[in-house]
Amino acid sequence: MVRFENVGMRYGAGPEVLRDVTFALDAGSFTFLTGLSGAGKTTLLKLIYVAEPPSRGLITLFGNDMATTRRRDFPAIRRRIGVVFQDFRLLEHLSAFDNVALPLRLAGRNEGNYEHDVEELLSWVGLGDRMHAKPATLSGGEQQRIAIARAVVARPDLLIADEPTGNVDAEIGGRLIRLFAELNRLGTTVLIATHDRALIESTKAREMRLVGGRLVELRTAGRP
């Protein structure tokens, strides 16, 4: 599903943020990505969700060599990836409902056949009574749950989450992880970047750690 071979990344003329990163995420796997702040986790995630091109190396996504894939095919690849951004990136002028429905709108579905799915998902993340609220009126934790709902609503083939439990309490955090695990059981490949050791230890999932821009495999177990 995802394959990196000797991937390096530097911004401009700066030092390499990632060095010779090689790994693969198999279809249906569940993986944690850990590392200290500044280790390159967010940069690695950006390369996977096609936000940046690598400086060197080979990236293969869903069987497509990204170096030779035509740019016009990128949107279709991006739509197969759900992303929970660390800073949520919600559209402030849209309601919680419309923010969550965005991937479905972009996939060309009309509101009649997604309204129920979106409402059900918002209820699942505990925001059934706030679906018409604008992000600015919601707490950080609530915004994070909307961002997660938006990332999973279209049942992506690959889910990438950058610190998805950073702003929620333990109970909501546990609930969100169960949501990710449920999606994983349904076939979605999951990659979560986190500092939360308790979260990692609560599962048997694989853990990859970034140290100084290099990837270290810590645990190779499969699913949570």
User: Which residues would be at the binding site for another protein (CB under 8 A)?
Assistant: 49-53, 75-79, 81, 83, 89, 91-94, 97-98, 101-103, 105-107, 111
Q: How far is the CB of 101 from another protein (least distance, A)?
A: 7
Shortest separation between residue 98's beta carbon and another protein, angstroms: 5
**The two three-digit tokens of residue 104, written as one number:** 């479905």
Rounded CA-CA distance 156/83 in Å is 9
Considering the complex, what minimum distance in angstroms separates the CB of residue 49 from another protein? 7
Question: With respect to another protein, which residue has the nearer C-beta, 76 or 170?
Answer: 76
Task: CB nearer to another protein: give 97 or 180.
Answer: 97
Choice between 34 and 43, CB closer to another protein = 43
Phi, psi of 206 (to 5 degrees): -65, 145
Nearer to another protein, 25 or 100 (CB): 100
To another protein, the closest distance from the beta carbon of 88 in angstroms equals: 10
Q: How far is the CB of 86 from another protein (least distance, A)?
A: 14
d(CA 116, CA 121): 9
Structure tokens at 124: 């699942």
Output 77 or 181, the one with its CB closest to another protein. Answer: 77
Minimum CB distance to another protein, residue 11 (Å): 13
Cβ proximity to another protein, 80 vs 178, nearer residue: 80
